[in-house]
Amino acid sequence: MVIGKVINRVISTRKYDTLQGYKLLVIEPYNGENKEWFVAADTIGAGEGELVLVSFGSAVQHALHQHAPIDAVVVGIVDQAPDGL
């Protein structure tokens, strides 16, 4: 998993039906030089500015109420950035 910061949302009116109902969050990686943001579905109610834990790949399906073509999902809000990092 990686820790990232919620910096925005993506609005996609025309999308695959099973994506309906998921907030699509723009996440910027918290650590590392590569600050390339990506999009993850929200299952926790994360808000802009919050530090979140994101999981990728097939594991994502275990956080969805039905199978959907989603490859990244927010699975937790990080209480605080690991100290010193």
Residues in the site for a copy of itself, rule: CB under 8 A?
1-3, 7-16, 18-19, 24, 26, 31-34, 36-40, 43-44, 53, 55-63, 67-73, 75-80, 82-85
Structure tokens at 66: 């039905």
Distance of closest approach, residue 22 Cβ to a copy of itself, in angstroms: 11
Helix, coil or strand: residue 62: helix
- How many other C-beta atoms lie within 10 A of the C-beta of residue 8? 12
Q: How far is the CB of 26 from a copy of itself (least distance, A)?
A: 5
Look at residues 69, 85, 74 and name the one whose alpha carbon lies nearest to residue 1: 74
CB of 30 to a copy of itself, least distance (A): 10
